[in-house]
Chain A
Amino acid sequence: MTDAAIVTAQGVSVELSGRAVLRDVSLALSPGHLVALVGPNGAGKTTLLRALAGLAPSSGAIVVRGDALSSLSLRERARRFAYLPQGHIVHWPLPARDIVALGRYPHGATDPARLSPGDAEAVQRAMRAADVFEFADRRVTELSGGERSRVALARVLAVEAPVILADEPTSSLDPRHQIDVMKTLRSAADQGTLVIVVTHDLGLAARFADTVLVLSDGRLVSQGAPVEALSEQVMANVFRISAYRAEFQREAVIVPWAEI
C-alpha cells in the first residue's frame, strides 16, 4: 500500500494554543480507498483532516502526490484536496447550483454564470452523482437538512480532486440519507479517489470503509481493515464499549452495544 500512496504523513503533530492535539501521526493512504477516521470526541479527528488539507499548521511532513504540502500554493492544495467541513454552513441564501459551482473555484472558475464547458460538465457530473438536480435552482436556506448535505457533497465532488476529506458528512441525517451519502462517497472511491471520512458511526465505518484509522488522544492507535482495526481490544480501550459483531450480506456489521 505504501508504494502507491497518494497521501503520506510522517510524524505529524499539531498544537492548538499550547495543547498537543495530534501527536506524531504517520500514515500512508492509497487512491481508490475509502478510509474511515474514528475515535472518541476530542481525539483529534477533525484536526488531522485540517492538517492534511493544510488548514491547520502542523509539524512533520505531509506529502501529496509526491509534493510536500508546504511547497504547494493555496490554489494547488485546493485542487488536490476537496474539503467538506461539518455543518454545511452557507451564510447567504444562494441557489444550490451556485454552491455546487464553487467546487470549480480552485480551477479558476470564479463565476457560476460563466462556466467553461469543462467546468459545466464537472458540475453536472457532481450534481448527478449527489442527486441534486431537482432542487438545483432553489436557495440552500430553503432546503431540508438532507438536501443541504447533498448540495454540500456535490460541491465537494465538483472539485474532482484526487483526495476528498469529509468531516462527519452523515451526522444529523436520517438513516436513508446516511446510506446515500456513504454510497456516493464509496462510488467516488471506486472511481479512484482517496476518500477520508470522519465519522462516529462505527456501523457505517465497518460497512463502507476499506480502511479504518482509530485516533485516541491525538495518537493513531489502530489501523487496518475495519474488523481488525476495530478489534474487541481497541473497542474496549479506546471507546470503552463492547460491540455486537456479525456479518450480513457478506459485509461486516459492528453495532456498539454496552459500556465497559
Chain B
Amino acid sequence: MSIHNGLQAVLATADVAARRRASVMAALVVVVVLLLLLSLGVGPVRLSPLSVIDALFGGGSDVAQVIVREIRLPRAILGFAIGAMLGLSGAALQGLLRNPLASPSLFGAPQSAAFGAVLVIALGLADVRSWALPVAAIAAAFASVFALLAITGRNAGLLILILAGLAISSLAGAATALVMNLSSNPFVVLEIAFWLLGSLEDRSFRHVLLALPFISAGAVILLSQRHAFRALSLGEETAQSLGVDVGVLRLMVITGVALGVGGAVAVSGTIGFVGLVAPHLMRPLIGHDPTRLLVPSALTGAALLLSADVAVRLIPSTSDIKVGVLTSIIGVPFFLYLIMRERRALSGGVA
C-alpha cells in the first residue's frame, strides 16, 4: 500500500517535470521566433514586426522586401543556425566528457577551424565564398578535437582537458598569426583580421548555402547519438555494458562538432562562448539530463547569438562592433563565474 502510494507520488513528480520541460521548450520557441522577427526588423531602416512579416511573404514596398528578404534574412538564418549549432555542440561535448566546463571554444575547435580557413584564403587557393573554405575549416576543427581527445585519453579530468584545450587553441592562434605574418598582401591581412573577430554582417544566401548543409549534417549526427549521453552519465565502462559503443560515440561527436563548428566558422569567423553558456542557462530549468539538454541548449544558443547580433546593431558606436567580440566579452566573465562557483570541485582536481 505504501509502495503504491510512493509510486503514485513518483509518477506525479515525473509528470510535473515533463510538463515543466514542455513549457520551457514552448517559451524558447516563442523567444527565438520573436528574436528572428527582431533581427529582420532592426538596422539602419527600422521595420515593425508586422511590416517584416508582410515583406517576408511578398507584401509591402519593394524596398522593404529587398531589405527583409535579401539583406536581413540570410543574416537571421545564419544567426539562428550558427547559434543553435554552437549550443548543441556545447551540450554534446559536455555530455560526452561528463563535464560542465566543456565547450568547442575552450577546446580550440573554432580557433583551429579559423586557421584552416585563413590558410586557404592566404594561400590564395580560394576566395572567401568557395566550398574550399568550409571544407578546410571542418578538417582543421576535426583534427583539433580529435587531437584533444587523443592527448587527454579516456577518463581525462577537467584539469587535463582545459590545459590541452588551451594549448591547442594557442597553437591554432599562433599558426593563424604566422600565416598573417608571412602574408605579403596587407589588404588580405586586414580582411582576415576583421573576419577573425566573428561577424554575421553582409552575409548573402550564398553564405547560407555554404554553411547550412554542414551545420545540418553536424546537428543530425549529434542528435542521432542523443540517448547515449544519458547512459554515459554512469561512466564509459557502464555505458558500454549497457550496449553503447563508446568508441563510435566519441567519433560521432567529434565529427558532428567539427562539421557544425567548421561550417559555422567558415562563414562567420570565430564566435566563442555561446556553446559554453547555453547548457548552463538550461540546467536550472530542464535538469542535468545530458540528453534532454541538447535541443533546449540549441534553441538557447540560437537566442543568444540572435540577440547578440541584434545588440551590435543597436549599440551606438563609431565603427560597428563585431558579434564575436560581444559574445566573448560577455562569455568570458561568465566562464570565470563558473570557475568560481565550481572551484571546490576544481581544486580537488576531479571532474
Contact = CB atoms under 8 A, between A and B. Distances in A.
Asked whether A and B interact, the reply is yes
Interface string B321-341: 000000000000000000000
A239 interface: no
B98 A91 contact: yes
Nearest to A81: B241
Contacts of A105: 227, 231, 242-244
Contacts of A73: 243
A154 interface: no
Interface stretch (B3-11, B49-57, B184-192): B3-11
A55 B235 contact: no
B272 interface: no
Contact of B234 (A74, A89, A95): A89
A75 interface: yes
A85 to B, nearest CB: 6
B233 interface: yes
B289 A92 contact: yes
B281 interface: no
B233 A83 contact: no
A89 B243 contact: no
Contacts of A74: 240, 243-245
B163 interface: no
Contacts of B351: 91
B48 interface: no
A155 B235 CA distance: 14
A92 B3 contact: no
B120 to A, nearest CB: 39
A97 interface: yes
Contacts of B181: none
Contacts of B69: none
A92 B98 contact: yes
A101 to B, nearest CB: 9
B288 interface: yes
Given A74-B243, A75-B243, A105-B243, A113 B233 contact: no
Contacts of B241: 53, 55, 77-78, 81-83, 85
B321 to A, nearest CB: 36
A106 interface: yes
A181 interface: no
Contacts of A174: none
Contact of A113 (B7, B14, B245, B288): B14
A133 B242 contact: no
Contacts, number: 91
Nearest to A133: B6
A117 interface: no
Contacts of A79: 243
A91 B13 contact: no
Chain B interface size, as a band, is: 20 to 34
Contacts of A142: none
B250 interface: no
Nearest to B3: A133
B227 A83 contact: no
Contacts of A97: 10, 14
Contacts of A155: 234
A124 interface: yes
Contacts of B291: 111
A133 B238 contact: no
Given A78-B243, A105-B243, A133 B10 contact: yes
A108 to B, nearest CB: 9
B237 A106 contact: no
B18 A91 contact: no
A149 to B, nearest CB: 14
A136 B10 contact: yes
A111 B21 CA distance: 14
Given A74-B244, A77-B243, A94 B288 contact: yes
A215 interface: no
Contacts of A212: none
B7 A124 contact: yes
Interface string B90-107: 000000001000000000
A128 B3 contact: yes
B98 A113 contact: no
B22 to A, nearest CB: 11
Interface of A: 50, 53, 55, 73-75, 77-79, 81-83, 85, 89-95, 97-99, 102-103, 105-106, 110-113, 124, 128, 133-134, 136-137, 155
20 contacts: A55-B240, A78-B243, A79-B243, A85-B237, A91-B232, A92-B233, A94-B230, A95-B14, A97-B10, A97-B14, A98-B289, A102-B230, A102-B231, A105-B242, A105-B243, A106-B242, A111-B227, A128-B3, A133-B3, A137-B9
The 5 A-B pairs of least Cβ separation, nearest first, read A78-B243, A110-B227, A91-B98, A83-B241, A75-B243
